[in-house]
Amino acid sequence: MDNLQQKIEERRKELNGLAKEYGLLDDRVLMKSRELDCLLNEYQRLVVHLEAM
């Protein structure tokens, strides 16, 4: 879980950097946002699974 949280934080930083450099509507920013969304969804599924135990 720590590794996943680290990946989320890395993607968030990358996303912020890209958004500052290229603007919010750039394809690179949107792609990085989707990557972050996937990681956040994975984290949410993990949390729900652990709470159900």
pLDDT digits (tens, 9 = 90+) for 10-48: 999 999 999 999 999 999 999 999 999 999 999 999 999
pTM for the full predicted model = 0.91
Report the pLDDT value the prediction gives residue 29, as an integer from 0 to 100.
98
Report the pLDDT value the prediction gives residue 1, as an integer from 0 to 100.
84
Report the pLDDT value the prediction gives residue 7, as an integer from 0 to 100.
98
User: d(Cα 13, Cα 30) in Å, to the nearest integer?
Assistant: 14
Residue 4 — pLDDT band, cuts 50, 70, 90? very high
Report the pLDDT value the prediction gives residue 44, as an integer from 0 to 100.
98
DSSP state of 53: -
All domains of the chain, ordered by start, with CATH?
2-52 (4.10.280.10)
